[in-house]
Amino acid sequence: MSRVRSIFVRWESGLVLLIVLVMVLGQAADGDLLSSFNLQTTALNSVVLLCLALGLAPVIMTSDIDLSVVGTLALVGVIIGDLTAHGTNTWLAICAGLAIALLCGLINGLLVVLFDLPALAVTLGTLGAYTGVSFLILKGLAISTFPNVIVSIGSSNLTGTQVPFAVVVLLVIAVILSYLVHATVFGKSVFAIGGSRKAALFSGIAVNRVRISTFVISGFMAGVAGLLFLGNYQTAQAGMGSTELLPAVTAVILGGVSAYGGTGTILGVVLAAVLLALLQSALGLHNFSGEGQTMAIGFLLIIAIGLPPMVSNYHDWRRRRASGRLKFASASSSSSEEGK
């Protein structure tokens, strides 16, 4: 356990170093990167990414995946926007939207767990389904007028500061989720299931219940992301937030959560989200297109998936080599003593 912990400490330290490196190089290349205005804009633009990543982390820790989060985001945003446009009380509309998000997560979990279906295929299907419902609700139109409460939640600052309110809320959620994952029986069950589903089942863990719960968490966080998207960009339309899936998955994997499940930290996910937000901002300041930024994030995802196995294989090779040398030295010593 101490070895695993030390690996993650090094991983998170590496993320901190990368953040500092991006800040230094980005500021040297363009003096606007660390300006208060740009940092505030970057923080606001990254809240949806961080929200989705925090929800995806427990799912991936159990070796599942949820590709439907951007579909849930769009559906929740469209429902809240449509309800408020028809005069529904703002808080009632928000509660209805978040309830739908919980339902979307529950549907994903039930389909994957109870019917023993592959999460990749199921959530890809529900992504299309949730997005399709969004199209049916708005019929291809868009909503761009929202109550002040929603706008304030997504884009206002803390009183007397330039710190976005949404960022503070997400950091609080990250602390709660970190406690849930790293300091509770539920969190231990998540890691045990990701390590070996059969072993977790034989050890008495309610595997199905825990897996369904992770999908519900993912759905709820996608709903929160939909609410924040509305407040920040002030538009509701089918397919909104679709470009956030790749950065969110990358933030989870780059944050140290194994794509095979069983390992990871919430702190690493937060640091990776900060790194990606700064990287996107730096590339944007240098007029990189959206496609160029997507390509860079794609490369980061490939590196984040491939690097841990490569490092592990390298350490295994070194151990085998050292063990072979010890055996050779021991055999040589025995031969010398027999000769005497």
231-260 pLDDT, tens per residue? Answer: 999 889 988 988 899 999 999 998 889 888
Look at residue 149 and give its three-state secondary structure. Answer: helix
Say how far apart CA 234 and CA 222 lie, in whole Å.
17
- Residue from 116, 106, 108, 76 nearest 93 by CA: 76
Say how far apart CA 232 and CA 234 lie, in whole Å.
6
Backbone φ, ψ for residue 79 (5° rounding): -65, -45
215 and 112 Cβ atoms separated by less than 8 Å:
yes
Q: In sequence order, what are the residues at sequence separation of 6 or more whose Cβ sits closer than 8 angstroms to the Cβ of residue 266?
A: 54, 57, 174, 177, 178, 181, 182
282 and 33 Cβ atoms separated by less than 8 Å:
yes
Tell me how crowded residue 280 is: count the other CB atoms within 10 A of its CB.
21
Residue-level pLDDT at 14:
84
- DSSP string for residues in 300-327: HHHHHHHHHHHHHHHHHHHHHHHHHHHH
Say how far apart CA 109 and CA 126 lie, in whole Å.
11
267 and 50 Cβ atoms separated by less than 8 Å:
no
Which residue spans within the chain are E strands per DSSP?
A: none
Low-confidence ranges of the chain (pLDDT < 50): 1-5, 7-8
Radius of gyration of the chain (CA): 23
Residue-level pLDDT at 9:
54
What mean pLDDT, rounded, does the chain reach?
Answer: 86
210 and 145 Cβ atoms separated by less than 8 Å:
no
Q: In sequence order, what are the residues at sequence separation of 6 or more whose Cβ sits closer than 8 angstroms to the Cβ of residue 41?
A: 281
Residue-level pLDDT at 326:
57
146-201 pLDDT, tens per residue? Answer: 899 999 888 888 887 888 899 999 999 999 999 999 999 999 999 999 999 999 99
Cα within 13 Å of Cα(107), Cβ side:
18
Tell me how crowded residue 299 is: count the other CB atoms within 10 A of its CB.
11
Burial (Cβ within 10 Å: 0-12, 13-18, ≥19) of residue 204 = exposed
Angle, CA 123 vertex, CA 122 and CA 129 arms, to 5°: 95
Which domains, ranges and CATH numbers included, belong to the chain? Answer: 46-312 (1.10.3470)
